[in-house]
Structure 1
Amino acid sequence: MPTIKTSNPLSLLKRRQVLAGAAAGAAALSMPGLIGKARAEGPLKVAAIYTVPVEQQWVSRIHLAANAAVARGDIEYVFSENTSNNDYERVMREYSEAGHDLIIGEVFAVEDAARQVARDYPETAYLMGSSFLPKDDTPNFAVFDNYIQDASYLSGIIAGAMTKTNKMGMVGGFPIPEVNRLMHAFMAGVRETAPDTTFQVAFIGSWFDPPKAKETAFAQIDAGADVLYAERFGVSDAAKEKGILAIGNVIDTQADYPDTVVASAIWHFEPTLDKAIEMVKAGSFKADNYGVYSFMKEGGCSLAPLGTFEGKVPDAAVKLAMEREAAIKAGDFVVEINDEEPKSS
């Protein structure tokens, strides 16, 4: 049996310090095959399957949104964390057999198996993090992604204003579209305020290995980087130890690194999950692309407040970031989505 945990929004948030705060199409894809009928009154039964701890950046945002839905009374929520890829299909089937209305998770390494499970349980709604688009052979399998390139671009504007060496280090997990597009957007923002900046780009081959990320960051600092893009945990620790600056990703860790983390691009999963809950309750859930709900204009991402760096970032950079943010929300400025693997300068 999977390690199933029931999420009580009060006790769980006390027990775990959950870290708070497309090119695929400009709107959700419409595909055939609505799921069942409108659900009865009362909270939906929702289960989540995570391959990493819920403290990990990306998953923590999904977990936070689910707890918010619990607090509103919209869902009942259980989850499994640290589920291996080899065990993912079994856990997914067990949750499906248990009669959950909606199952969420991330299937980047188990795509084919996960879609087969969805075909085997056509009355269950699945909302899964994926690099691929929905398909008409799995009409109950919707996908999402963290398209937070808008916020990443804005964080780059701030970072470019803070570098003195015009050398930046970037440490990521894997060179997949979900990471690549954020790195490219960040670099584009940096070039707005520091056009001559060069970048060192490295991937550690893991989603959760803080020691390895830290050692990789140390090497980039030794090569001259004075600002680090912390796509993984461990990078900000290296920056703190060496007395340089870091830019956060997905979550805001400035409270833990008040003299290190200047700005962060924050992912808000609430618009994505809330839309799925609405569709399941209405009996209208189908194989859509929910990635668009991560866009800034949909409320799916934001630039974290400067906090301890208020007044320390040059006014011109702050003004430019605010102007770009307004233009993005108005639809007058579009941040490029580039999913190609970024390279060092």
Structure 2
Amino acid sequence: MTDRRQFMLSASAAALAAALPGSLLAQEATRIGFVYVSPIGDAGWTFQHDEARKEMEAKLGNSIQTKYVENVAEGADAERVIREFAASGSKIVFATSFGYMNYVERVARQFPNVTFLHATGYKSGKNFGHYNARFYEGRYLNGVIAGRMTKSNILGYVGAFPIPEVLQGINAFTRGARSVNPNVEVRVIWANSWYDPGKEREAAMTLISQGADVVTQHTDSTAVVQAAEERGVYAFGYHSDMSKYGPRAHLTATTHHWGDFYVRTVREVLAGTWKPESIWGGFKDDMVRLAPLNPAIPAEVRAEVAQIEEQLKAGSFHPFAGPVIDQSGKERLSAGAVMDDVALGKMDFFVQGVASRLPNTR
């Protein structure tokens, strides 16, 4: 096992361990484990979760001790790491990728006195909850900007896997773009990985060669933004602000913020008041934000986006308000209706405006 794959004690917790006797540390510090699907790096999905872990440490201090394992594949290795956290004394385990869900469920049954939280899934149990952010809200705003900024009317999207979470983002991006520019089409290439910079870059370059002058991704690395910077087109980062990797290309990013949720959840567990629930927070919950806007975005577009953002916060606008028409022309939601969370969680289609076809996963 490499150093990277070993359990990592955070710097602040390590300092605490050095300062306190072992028995006192064991009595006072609740152990918490984090399972990460990709390297932490300095941007992206795992980076945002690790920033939230640090924020939690800063706020909860000596009452907790956190460890993490990064770059854990969604398979048997994930189950091993999750079980190892529980067996070694962690009272709370955060598993931060969709493909961990079934493994978390299995281990949670075996450790009823440990609290497990799973990111982006949908299953729950007596000691097992799930949490997510409404990424699609930010994607809609990205789409509005893309629809205003494109000249070719071709937008490129690098997707990880064709699951509801990713489809929500692609469809919201498309609906946002077509709300201001009905001539836009979105082309999708699948990386079939959450984190593979080489595949992500190759997909972005292919989309750009097909005429896309704005690209984005639902993957974890900065490769798409870097490719856009290199080729002189625009891009949107994802998960975190990726502007340093493409100062000219990066228009903004849909960013995710987990710190308040982690702090609140741990406090509830420590107080004995935690109960499993479905958490799905958006702009109004401050779990989704936009990164700073590129000065290249015109003032009138900035104002347009700011207005929609305020409507999202107020709950007066929904990116999937009807009518919702899929790419075959079938009405999926009638005018006047708003797609509920159950339907969003089962999304299995592309909307009108997406030029690519979904892979046959049956």
Same fold (TM over 0.5): yes
- Match among 348, 352, 359 for residue 340 of structure 1: 348
Q: Is the 8 A contact 2:100 2:118 kept in 1?
A: no
Shift in Å, 1:107: 5.2
- Match among 192, 198, 205 for residue 185 of structure 2: 198
Mean CA deviation greater in 272-281 or 201-210: 272-281
Q: Label 1:107 to 1:249 Cα distance change in 2 as closer, same or farther (>3 A).
A: closer
Mean CA deviation greater in 1-10 or 75-84: 1-10
Q: Is the 8 A contact 1:246 1:260 kept in 2?
A: yes
Q: Which amino acid is the alignment partner of residue 355 of structure 2?
A: S
Partners of 1:143 and 1:151 in 2: CA distance: 21
- Match among 45, 48, 54 for residue 40 of structure 2: 54
Q: Label 1:114 to 1:69 Cα distance change in 2 as closer, same or farther (>3 A).
A: same
Shift in Å, 1:42: 5.0
Mean CA deviation greater in 65-74 or 253-262: 65-74
Q: Does 1:154 align with 2:141?
A: yes
Mean CA deviation greater in 104-113 or 190-199: 104-113
In the alignment of these two chains, the number of paired residues is 310
SS in 2 for 1:255: helix
Shift in Å, 1:327: 1.1
SS in 2 for 1:317: helix
Q: Does 1:286 align with 2:275?
A: yes
Q: Label 1:126 to 1:332 Cα distance change in 2 as closer, same or farther (>3 A).
A: same
Q: Does 1:142 align with 2:129?
A: yes
Q: Which amino acid is the alignment partner of residue 344 of structure 1?
A: A
Q: Is the 8 A contact 1:240 1:260 kept in 2?
A: yes
Q: Which amino acid is the alignment partner of residue 76 of structure 2?
A: N
Larger Rg: 2
Q: Does 1:320 align with 2:304?
A: yes
SS in 1 for 2:118: strand
SS in 1 for 2:126: coil
Provide the identity percentage: 29
Long gaps (5+) in structure 2: 16-25, 321-338, 357-362
Query: Match of 1:111?
Result: 101
Q: Which amino acid is the alignment partner of residue 235 of structure 1?
A: V
CA deviations over 1:166-223 (Å, ceiling 9, x no partner): 1111111111122221121111211222221011111111111111111111111111
Question: Hey, which bits of structure 1, 4+ residues long, moved more than 4 A?
Answer: 9-12, 40-43
Shift in Å, 1:45: 1.7
Q: Label 1:229 to 1:334 Cα distance change in 2 as closer, same or farther (>3 A).
A: same
Query: Match of 1:16?
Result: none
Q: Is the 8 A contact 1:131 1:178 kept in 2?
A: no
Query: Match of 1:78?
Result: 67
Long gaps (5+) in structure 1: 13-39
Q: Does 1:268 align with 2:257?
A: yes
Structure with larger RCO (C-alpha < 8 A, sep 6+): 1
Partners of 1:99 and 1:90 in 2: CA distance: 15
Q: Is the 8 A contact 2:226 2:245 kept in 1?
A: no
Q: Does 1:88 align with 2:94?
A: no
Mean CA deviation greater in 99-108 or 197-206: 99-108
